Amino acid sequence: MQDASSQTRVVVTGLGLATGLGFDAGEFFANLLAGKSGIDRVTFFDPADYPCQIGAEVRDFDATQYMDPKEVRRNDRYAHLGMAASKLAVADAGLDVTKLNADRFGVMVASGIGGLDTIQKQSRVLFERGPRKVSPFMIPSLIANMASGIVAIEMGARGPNFTIVSACASSSHAIGESLRIIRDGDADIMLAGGSEAAINELGYAGFCSMRAMSTRNDDPAGASRPFDKNRDGFVMGEGAGIVVLETLEHARARGAKIYCELIGYGASCDAYHVTAPDPEGKGLALAINVALRKGGVGATDVDYVNAHGTSTPFNDKFETGALKKVFGDHAAKLLVSSTKSMTGHLLGAAGAVEAITCAKVLESGEVPPTINYDEPDPECDLNYVPNTKVSHPVNVAISNNLGFGGHNATLVFRRHAG
């Protein structure tokens, strides 16, 4: 194993978002610190017949601000959101993409599902109007790699480009694999993250049939309550998150602002069940330990954990157990929060949005709360920053994400001190 001190240093220099809590990273983070919820009754379709009728939609979004109208018509909403977040990240990083070495500029925009809206709409066309009416753009629009492809085309990025699909761990894996790519010397700069747009009839029908979603429809803002004793399921969100990663040398050469360093990444599988996490937390604990080792930091160096924290009965207690397994006595000193309590669960885009949250925590020393934490669960007994933000210096932060199939991903970030 390469010694952590000899590895190429990789920094985060740009943040781009398209979420129900805002498009500007500063605005988004301010809303998190204020405990503002982006969850409300679904408006994209009539949810009256569905057990879950709430979600965190990206409203007032005009894709033509970020893409040619013709390309908007040819691509799915998840790609629209991914393009928006990518362009916002590039702008935030102060990048002039025309001056980059295109061969060493890569893109990795992940998605857990891809073009679900396209699948739904074109299926209706097929069954109502026949096969000749199905769009010739259907296949390229629905496949999960297309957001990554069209962003690279738009940016002229010829470096490494592929898509990771690992359900709700997808964008954390994308950021982690982008770290590997840079450290392997295959790129100087990567746009990395994920995008998801699954708030439609098909998406809700599927997840509701699994009984995975909250039915607290009379209280949308209070429905996502990670680690609370009365949690009853996740609330879906949509959106995209993209970070600009580059070598420290590359960032310094262009005088870039640096939010933080990305120092470690771990990936594992529970090898236990298709949808349920391992009750003993062995897989997640493995991912965290690998990420810490690769980052050259110890368990007691970690100050903040952005938890996967889905507000489902199993995830929250098993994730708590995994944190105790890794951190031992230090677990009681951790600040742990689930920002899904405010953003909803963005599925394949969740990890990227939560990585951006970690970057802002490290930059500001402000830690967002877990809202709706009203009644402690005896099986979830850590400090989840209940309901109100805290000010606390954070030097090392980690972000955990888990996905159906048993996939686990952990990212480790460190405050940049020069």
**Location of structure tokens 């230090």:** 330
Q: Which entry of 168, 208, 358, 380 is annotated as an active-site residue?
A: 168
Q: Which entry of 173, 308, 407, 416 is annotated as an active-site residue?
A: 308
Has 250 been annotated as catalytic? Answer: no
CB 387 within 8 A of CB 35: yes
Summarize the chain as % helix, strand, coil (round to 5). 40, 20, 40
Q: How far apart are CA 418 and CA 416, in angstroms?
A: 6
Q: Which entry of 80, 173, 250, 345 is annotated as an active-site residue?
A: 345
DSSP letter assigned to residue 83: H
Q: To which H or E segment does residue 57 belong?
A: none
The string of DSSP codes covering 162-207 is ----BTBTHHHHHHHHHHHHHHTTS-SEEEEEEEE---SHHHHHHH
The string of DSSP codes covering 334-367 is -EEE-THHHH-B-GGGHHHHHHHHHHHHHHH-EE
CB 78 within 8 A of CB 116: yes
Has 168 been annotated as catalytic? Answer: yes
The string of DSSP codes covering 108-171 is EEE-SS--HHHHHHHHHHHHHH-GGGS-TTHHHHHSTTHHHHHHHHHHT--S-B----BTBTHH
| Residue 173: closest CA among 267, 93, 288 | 267
Residues annotated as catalytic are 168, 308, 345
